Chains A and B, each alone.
Chain A
Amino acid sequence: MAVSEENGTVAGQQKTRPRLISGPGMLLVWLYGVMVVGAVSRSIVQIATEFDHAPLAYSLSAIAGVVYGFITYSLVRGGETARRAALVCCAAELAGVLIVGTWTLVEPSAFPDATVWSDYGMGYLFIPVLLPVTAMFWLRRARGAAGAES
Chain B
Amino acid sequence: MLDALTVATSVAALALAAWCGFAAYRDQPTKDWHFIGMAVVSLLALVQLIVGIVQLVRGEKPEQGTTIFVGYLLGALACIPAVGFMSLAERTRWGSVTVAAGGVVLAVLEVRLYDIWGG
Q: Report the separation of the CA atoms of residues A25 and B101 in the bound assembly, to the nearest whole angstrom.
A: 13
CB pair A30 B108 closer than 8 Å: no
- Tell me the dominant secondary structure on chain A's binding face: helix
B74-110 Cβ-contact flags toward A at 8 Å (1 or 0): 0100000011001101101011011001100100100
CB pair B108 A23 closer than 8 Å: no
Let me know if A24 is at the binding interface, CB within 8 A: yes
Interface size bucket, A side? 10 to 19
CB pair B67 A30 closer than 8 Å: no
CB distance from B18 to the nearest CB of A (A): 17
CB pair A41 B71 closer than 8 Å: yes
CB pair B97 A27 closer than 8 Å: yes
Contact check: which of B67, B75, B86, B105 meets A29 at CB < 8 Å? B86
Let me know if B68 is at the binding interface, CB within 8 A: yes
A-B contact count (CB 8 A): 39
Q: Which residues of B contact A31 (CB under 8 A)?
A: 101
CB pair B92 A30 closer than 8 Å: no
Q: Which residues of A contact B86 (CB under 8 A)?
A: 26, 29-30
Q: Report the separation of the CA atoms of residues A23 and B98 in the bound assembly, to the nearest whole angstrom.
A: 10
B37-54 Cβ-contact flags toward A at 8 Å (1 or 0): 000000000000000000
Q: Which residues of B contact A29 (CB under 8 A)?
A: 86
Q: In chain B, what residue has the closest Cβ to A34?
A: B105
Q: Which residues of A contact B95 (CB under 8 A)?
A: 26
Q: In chain B, what residue has the closest Cβ to A125?
A: B108
Let me know if A22 is at the binding interface, CB within 8 A: yes
CB pair A27 B105 closer than 8 Å: no
CB pair B94 A30 closer than 8 Å: no
Q: Report the separation of the CA atoms of residues A135 and B5 in the bound assembly, to the nearest whole angstrom.
A: 35
Let me know if A1 is at the binding interface, CB within 8 A: no
CB pair B90 A23 closer than 8 Å: yes
Assess A30 versus B71: contact at CB under 8 Å? Given A23-B90, A23-B94, A24-B94.
no
Q: Which residues of A contact B98 (CB under 8 A)?
A: 26-27, 30
Let me know if A133 is at the binding interface, CB within 8 A: no
Interface of chain A residues 11 through 41 with chain B (CB within 8 A): 21-27, 29-31, 33-34, 37, 41
Q: Report the separation of the CA atoms of residues A29 and B97 in the bound assembly, to the nearest whole angstrom.
A: 12
CB distance from B7 to the nearest CB of A (A): 20
8 contacts between A and B (CB under 8 A): A21-B89, A21-B90, A24-B94, A26-B86, A27-B94, A30-B82, A41-B75, A45-B71
Chain A residues engaging chain B, CB cutoff 8 angstroms: 21-27, 29-31, 33-34, 37, 41, 45, 49, 125
